[in-house]
Amino acid sequence: MSADLASTPDYRSGRVVALAGTAALGGFLFGYDSAVINGAADAIKTTYGLNSLELGFVVSIALIGSAIGAWFAGSLAERFGRRPVMLMAAALFLIAAIGQAFPIGAADLTVWRFLGGAGIGVASVMAPMYIAEIAPAPMRGRMGSLQQLAIVVGIFATGLVNYAILNAAGGSSTNDWLFGLAAWQWMFLTMIIPAVIYGTLAARLPESPRYLMSKGLDKEATAVLQTIYTDNVEPLIHQIRESLQGDHAPRISDIRGRTFGLMPIVWIGILLSVFQQFVGINAVFYYSNTIWQAVGFSESQAFETSLITTVVNVAFTLLAIALIDRVGRKPLLLVGSVGMVVMLAVLTFVFGTADVNSAGEPVLGDGIDVVAVIAFNLYVAFFAATWGPVVWVLLGEMFPNRIRAAALALAAAAQWVANFLVSTAFPPLASISLGLAYGLFTIFAILSIPFVAKFITETKGRSLESIGSDMTASKK
């Protein structure tokens, strides 16, 4: 047992799970909103007469909003606190749900998707930050993984709801359903329910004790910690106070360093985020229906296949939660990278060597289509059990207290920019060759292996303050 684990005060596990679970609901909205476009994309393309590049822009503009939302979330969290910024994310989700359901045209639909993306970006920063700051070291990996679990459950819920709406509307997302609204409009309207639930529950959360102490509110911070820990919290208060000592309040400029303008630890967080996206996972969830229809599946079959993928995603995220505080962060990342390399290589070969029809789309024969579906889902499984949750856990815990908000905001913003690049590039790349698109994802999965081996430090079972003290030298 590590010194940190041995010295951790006794805590109330139920209280920790309740707080972390509520914060992680932002991840549910994140997953729900980011994946809802999967069911509506073809209908939007048809309704507004968009080409592949235009559709890619409408889909991925949300990611630019996410990058901007993530960037500003850090400074807003330092100024106003973690809870008020979570409520801001809930409000953005609510507004975007209504706007996307009732667009005047493609132009304002793009605006609403941008606002929804901003909500995603804010939530993507606040959930891991808050969870890392309230969870005891022995539980922090599992609690941090709740963010990813909520994301994949949100993606699964979107697929299930979209599929139910599609069937109720007669098998086409462009068909009218209830009250004269098309099926794809109802897909967006369903986001209202989780947005209201998240906002209501987030309003009941206590403020992060580490934020309170950064504002000199030690008494209030102590009161929050006493609801989490059963032992004397004064030693923990002392550790947090020492980690926050400095000649000014935490600010964005604290992440500056000599390595291309930033501290090395910040660059590691940025690259970790970029690799998570450049292995292509969100191309799977934004365009999986389109991919399967392109290789000959009907719209209904494509929905069913995509739904299976979301079930796999949830199941293997649960496996990650069971393993992350036992196995550790770094070993899981390495296993995930190797597994993704193999599965992506198989998909590259299958799509790259398939016959093509008159439209230039690959045609998978009997047997090969089964291989593609299996490899596709195993790729998702390796990601879900490793890179999906582990990256969010590391981003929440790898930065010192004084720079956590700013560094996490920058790393998350970089993740959304990378996501935008992949999502925007995928439709035109896939129109040339799905094999080409998956070949590029394979290359980045290969490159992630030496990156993790050299630069990722294990944080399992360590307090945030001890992790932060080891990173102090990175400021130089």
**Ordered structural domains, the chain, with CATH:** 3-475 (1.20.1250.20)
Q: Which of 41-45, 183-187, 282-286, 314-318 has the lowest mean pLDDT?
A: 282-286
**Residue 430 pLDDT > 50:** yes
Q: Could you tell me the pLDDT band of residue 362, with boundaries at 50, 70 and 90?
A: low
Q: Could you tell me the pLDDT band of residue 474, with boundaries at 50, 70 and 90?
A: very low
Q: How many whole angstroms separate alpha carbon 438 and alpha carbon 264?
A: 30
Please give the pLDDT value at position 315.
Answer: 92
Q: How many whole angstroms separate alpha carbon 228 and alpha carbon 446?
A: 41
**Residue 355 pLDDT > 80:** no
Query: CB under 8 Å to 141, separation ≥6 — which residues?
Result: 324, 325, 329, 393, 460
pLDDT digits (tens, 9 = 90+) for 243-283: 777 544 555 566 777 767 788 899 999 999 999 999 988 77
Q: Which residue has the higher pLDDT, 362 or 86?
A: 86
pLDDT digits (tens, 9 = 90+) for 440-453: 999 999 999 999 99
Q: Which residue has the higher pLDDT, 51 or 333?
A: 333
Please give the pLDDT value at position 18.
Answer: 93
The Cα-based distances of 12 to 87, 196, 227, 229, 318 in angstroms read 26, 28, 8, 6, 22
Please give the pLDDT value at position 109.
Answer: 92
**139-168 mean pLDDT:** 86
**377-396 mean pLDDT:** 93
Q: Could you tell me the pLDDT band of residue 288, with boundaries at 50, 70 and 90?
A: low
